[in-house]
Amino acid sequence: MKRVVVTGLGVVSCVGNDVASFWQALTAGTSGIAPVAGFDASNLAVRIAGEVKDFRFDARLGKRMHRFAQFAYDAAEQALREAGIDAGDMEGPGPRAERVGVCIGSGIGGEPFLEQQYEKFLAKGPGRFHPLTVPIIIPNMASAMVAIQHNFSGPNLCIATACATGNHSIGTSLDLIRLGRADVMIAGGSESTMSAFTLDGYHQLRTLSTRNDDPQRASRPFSRDRDGFVLAEGAGVMVLESLTHAKRRGAEILAEVAGYGVNADAHHLTAPHPQGLGAVRAMRLALEDARLNPEDVGYINAHGTSTPLNDAMETEAIKQVWGEHAAAVPVSSIKSMVGHSLGAAAGLEAVASVLALHSGAIPPTINLDDPDPELDLDYVPHTAREVPLQAVLSNSFAFGGHNAVVAFRKFT
């Protein structure tokens, strides 16, 4: 089986719009949650979010792209630069255009733009709204625009599995490279659904924290008084390529994508399986694919949403997989700092997992001042921890029961 490695990373997030600032914020335990600034949320029950700040994008190109696609494009550019892949030079030892693919998913796509244009349609009638509305809002345009601008003509996909989107995109890219359908894949997730309608929609599901007066402490995974996640936006993207290809062109290797576990709860629209059966099996599948034993894993990047159901389920699932060793493996949730960016969440968390493996630092779970006594794992509270790591697992469990777990290993 072909080995697949990570050679580039890119990030847009509420704590930083590049990998360095993102990682500095995470290891410092800095929250990016704040009162909503992008629209008027004054009449909403939830008025806090993890909005991306100070994002700049090419105005000409941006006219054809919604914010979620702009985030994806920018993160992909960062990852390609770090990987040393020049889209304008496909000769020599570098990749051929037809062997480079893109799989950047989005859970919802450009829904806020659709809202704006529908209001114009209702007010002014047919033919009076943006003529590119359809291609701007559809989720596959993130992958499409990266390919179009760079002439990448390999496999081009968009996966939309809610919170598991990023991991499914990375896992699918892993499979495509293993199968020989591509040498290089740009993979991850992107999302920007910041609007009053979306915020209120998630609130009606009773999934969001209502701690409007204390935004930076609102997301508190594994805490006794956790009351929901904080909606966020962003993008997390990585360049994957076959080990043979990376070595041939002399690329720096950040980590190996060792394994992938994917399945479904087949249980409920929004709630996880109460015994975590799907999560247990997904983690075991990832470990089996990576040829890892549970005790080989030095860190689990948790889905860790800060909802009562998810945090309890994930804790129980980890206990079932790790058994007596469960208490010894560090587990943390970066959602305590960056909120829950839906289709982008797993992409950001995968980037954080690779950075943890590469640097030997585990980002903390902040706001864990009052731990839930029923949840008794090592959640790395408050401050980052320096630990030599050989393997990391990144969990994602989504609405609809979509489960995706990716295993990363230190490259040797």
Residue 138: which residues within 8 A CB-CB, separation 6 or more?
109, 110
Residue 402 bears catalytic tag = no
List the alpha helices (DSSP H) in 254-307. 277-290
Residue 66 bears catalytic tag = no
Closest CA to 38 of 63, 55, 17: 55
Using DSSP, state whether 256 is helix, strand or coil: strand
Query: What is the rounded distance in angstroms from the CA atom of residue 186 to the CA atom of residue 169?
Result: 9
Query: What is the rounded distance in angstroms from the CA atom of residue 24 to the CA atom of residue 195?
Result: 29
Query: What is the rounded distance in angstroms from the CA atom of residue 130 to the CA atom of residue 119?
Result: 11
> Of 163, 168, 273, 402, which residue is the catalytic one?
163
Supply the Cα-derived Rg of the chain in whole angstroms.
20
Output the six-digit token pair for 389. 């790591």
Query: What is the rounded distance in angstroms from the CA atom of residue 245 to the CA atom of residue 233?
Result: 33
Residue 382 bears catalytic tag = no
> Of 168, 340, 358, 402, which residue is the catalytic one?
340
Nearest-5° Cα angle at 204, 202 to 206: 80
How many residues would you count in the chain? 412
> Of 273, 303, 358, 402, which residue is the catalytic one?
303
Query: What is the rounded distance in angstroms from the CA atom of residue 9 to the CA atom of residue 19?
Result: 7
Q: Which residues are catalytic?
A: 163, 303, 340
